[in-house]
Amino acid sequence: MTMKNRLSIVIGSGGVLCAASLGLSKALRREGLTPGMAVGCSGGSIYAALIALGFDPGEAEQLTLNLFTGDVFDGYTSNLKSALSGESRFTETSSLIDDNVMYERLKIVFGEKTFSDTVFPLYIVATDLYTGERVVVSTGKILDAIRASIAIPMIFSPWKIGERLLVDGAVCDPLPIDVAIQQGSDLIAAVGFEMPTRKRMNSYTAVTTHFNSLYMNNILKSTFAFYNAVHHAEIIPILPDFEKPVGTFDTTQIPFIIAQGEKAAEEHIPYIKRLMEGERP
């Protein structure tokens, strides 16, 4: 399939913030615009898969609310205290939570679906635990690919696909734009997330959070700048403004997150439509 004038959606890492991509999906559907490819990384892999499988945005929103509930993270605090105190032995394959709950929830949604069941091509990015190499998964069970891509180190345990032990795709590539480029796409809507910075830093946690936000935001800006400079693809940044801090796993904010994603997408829809109809600047 040629990807000329076909829109690819790339969804980066961001936990529950990745639900903002459903806002992009809603805006596209309203205009009768159909993507031709989806690429997902970390939390973005869940939404890339939902979009590529043809889920209605409303249905996908409800699935998200059912997926990220508080019991997914049961035991996190006590296990973290145990790990920090040295009471428990940690290895590279350990995790702070028992992720069976998350896996079973994902299984309800994706079951035995494979990449061949998608409406259009889907690519999910994970990271080789030992080498740090990027691994792009495009065959086999979607459930396994997502489980590998969301394996936040030390939070979720790594996931084995083939002979490789894989972790969170954000470790190697938090916004994998070039996967779409390598597959021939010349029109890309890239959904990324700027992390909120702190105006007051009066604790260790506040300081570390602030500098982590600066680090991640600069990576995001550099990613867009690099691919716009070296590739001929038209890359459209979809950067929702959440106006206030939103926790990585704060599901109470999902309707707000989706609305902000739709708002961010709407300003680009006329331009995307012109490009999909063959007009080039």
The single-letter DSSP state of residue 50 is: H
Say how far apart CA 57 and CA 47 lie, in whole Å.
Answer: 10
**Domain holding 238: CATH number?**
3.40.1090.10
- Residues with Cβ within 8 Å of residue 217, at least 6 apart in sequence: 194, 195, 197
Low-confidence spans in the chain with pLDDT less than 70: 1-5, 69-90, 95, 196-197, 205, 215, 228-232, 279-281
The pLDDT assigned to 88 comes to 67
197 located within any domain: yes
177 located within any domain: yes
Provide the domain limits for residue 225.
7-276
The pLDDT assigned to 153 comes to 87
pTM for the full predicted model: 0.88
Q: What is the pLDDT of residues 231-265, one digit of tens each?
A: 667 999 999 998 777 877 777 889 999 999 999 99
Say how far apart CA 180 and CA 189 lie, in whole Å.
Answer: 10
169 located within any domain: yes
21 located within any domain: yes
Say how far apart CA 60 and CA 71 lie, in whole Å.
Answer: 20
Question: 46: which 2 tokens?
Answer: 């869940």
Rg (CA), the chain: 18
2 located within any domain: no
Alpha-helical (H) ranges within 135-248 are 142-149, 177-182, 204-230
Count of domains in the chain? 1
281 located within any domain: no
